[in-house]
Structure 1
Amino acid sequence: MRLAAVDPHSRETMTFDWGSAKWYIQPDSVPETGLTFGEVVLNPGRGHDRHNHPGSEEVLYVLSGTGRQMLDDEEPFDVSPGDVVHVPRGVYHSTMNTGWTPMRLIAVYNPGGEEAALRGLPDFAPVPPGEVPRLRRE
C-alpha cells in the first residue's frame, strides 16, 4: 500500500443551508481506515438541527468561531476555539454558530461512515472536488 497526504482539493464539499462539510478521511475513500475525519463550517447564525449517530461516536474540535453546543437534550453550553466535545454513540446533539463569522470545526466519527446520511438531507448539494462553494445571502 502506498501512503500519501490527502489533497483537500481532491474531495467534494457537501453544502447545506447551514454551512458545509469536507471529509478528508473516510472508510470508502482511504484504504484500511476505520474512521471519518473532516472539517465542518457553520455559517453565522446557523447550525445543524438536533440529530444523533446511532452507529458512531463523534468528536468535535472547535477551530474558530463561537457557538452553543447541546448534548443529550441538556441545556446548551458555550463553545469556542480549543474546545473539544465528545458525543457518545446515539446521543442527540446540535451545534449553533452564535457569532458573525463562520465557525470551523474538526469532526471525527468512530467508526466512520455516518457522514453518508448527510446526502439524504433535503438541503444537501454537492460541490465537486476543486470547486469553491458559494455562499448565498438570504
Structure 2
Amino acid sequence: MLKNKKNIKVMKLAAITMLFINVQGCGENVNKSDEKDGSVTALSLNGKEESHIHDNSTHSHTSKRIVKPEDAQQLWIFPESKDKLGSGGLLKIYMDPESHPDASSGFSKYELGVGGALPEHKHNKTEEIAYFISGTGIVINYENDERKETIVKEGYVWYTAPGEWHSFQNTGNEPLKLVFATVPNAKHGLLNFFKKVGVEPGMESSNTLSAEEFAKLASDNDLILKPIKID
C-alpha cells in the first residue's frame, strides 16, 4: 500500500513538472512572437525594408538592377554621315563603369551595318563574350599565327581572350546584331573607346584625329590595332 502511494506521488510530481515546462515554453513562444511582431511593426512604421538580412554592403545602391531599353546610351560608330549609319555600327551601352561602377563586366548591344567590318585588334587586359542575335557574318581570329575565318549567325557564341587578335565582318544583307560582355568593367576600356569616337544618332561625326592620335586613343583604352603588313 505504501509502495502504491509513493508511486502515485511520483506520477503526480512528474505531471506537475511537465505541466510547468509546457506553460513556460508557451510563455517563451508568446514573448518571441511578440518581439517579432513588434520588430515588423517598427520596420513598417519606419518605412524601411530591413527585414531582409542579406548584406549588400559590397554592392552599389546607385546602379540599376533593371536597365530598360530607353536607359541605354546609343552611339553611332563610324557612321556614313550624320543622317545615315551605312556600314557603321549602332552601339547600345547598358552597363559600363559610369552606370555600374561595382559590376564586374560591361554589357552592350552592337549592330554592324551591311558591308561593315571592324579592324583587326586585340585587348591586353580585356576578354569579350559575344552572342549573335541575327544576321550573318565572319569572325576572324588566329591559331598558331594562322588567320582563320569562321561563319557566325544567330545563336553562336564568340569568346575572345586577352591578347588574341580578332575582328568580325557583316557578310549578309541585314545588320549583324550581337550582345557582348567586356571583362573587366574597366574605366579605360573598350566601351570608353567607343564613347570617345562615337556620336549620338543624327549628330555630325568628328574626324579631326590623325592616324597616330586615333591609334593612341585606342591603345589608351586597351584596344591595340594590328599593324598592317605592306608587301
Give the alignment's TM-score, normalised by structure 1: 0.82
Quote how far apart the aligned CAs of 1:64 are.
0.2
The correspondence for 1:58, drawn from 112, 128, 136, is 128
Give structure 1 regions of 4+ aligned residues with deviation exceeding 4 angstroms. Answer: none
Q: How does 1:91-130 map to 2 (within 5 A)?
A: 91-113=164-186, 114=189, 115-121=191-197, 124-125=198-199, 127=200
Q: Which amino acid aligns with 2:161?
A: P
Q: Quick check: 1:27–1:34 contact (8 Å CA) kept in 2?
A: no
Query: 1:36 aligned to 2:106?
Result: yes
- Highest Rg: 1 or 2? 2
What is the rounded CA distance, in whole Å, between the counterparts of 1:35 and 1:15 in structure 2? 22
Task: Provide the residue aligned with 1:16 in structure 2.
Answer: 77
The percent of aligned pairs where both chains have the same amino acid is: 26
SS of 2:194's partner is helix
Matches of 1:28 and 1:53, distance apart in 2? 20
The CA distance in 1 between the partners of 2:92 and 2:194, in whole Å, is 12
- Deviation readout 1:17-76 (Å, 9 max, x if unpaired): 321211101132124212011100000111211111222100111000000000136221
Alpha carbon RMSD of aligned pairs, Å? Answer: 1.8
Give the number of aligned pairs.
126
Secondary structure, aligned partner of 1:49: coil
Quote the offset at 1:4 in angstroms: 3.4
The 3-state SS of whatever aligns with 1:55 is coil
Q: Find the aligned partners of 1:118 and 1:54 in 2 and give their Cα distance.
A: 17
CA contact (8 A) 1:59 1:108 kept: yes
- 1:6 aligned residue: 67
Of 115, 129, 137, 1:45 maps to: 115
Unpaired runs of 5+ in structure 1? 128-132
Q: Between 12-21 and 92-101, report the one with greater CA deviation.
A: 12-21
* TM-score where L is the length of structure 2: 0.51
- The answer to whether the 8 Å contact 1:26/1:34 transfers is no
3-state SS of 1:54 partner: coil
Task: Give the match's secondary structure for 2:103.
Answer: coil
Per-residue deviation at 1:120?
A: 4.2
User: What is the DSSP-based 3-state SS (H/G/I as helix, E as strand, rest coil) of the residue aligned with 2:177?
Assistant: strand
Q: Can you give the 5+ residue segments of structure 2 that lack an aligned partner in the other structure?
A: 1-60, 79-87, 203-231
SS at match of 1:118: helix
Cα separation, 1, equivalents of 2:125 and 2:132: 23
Note the C-alpha offset of 1:13.
1.2
Number of the residue aligned with 1:130? none
**How many Å separate the matches in 1 of 2:95 and 2:166?**
23
Higher relative contact order, structure no. (Cα contacts within 8 Å, ≥ 6 residues apart): 1
Match of 1:25 among 92, 95, 98: 95
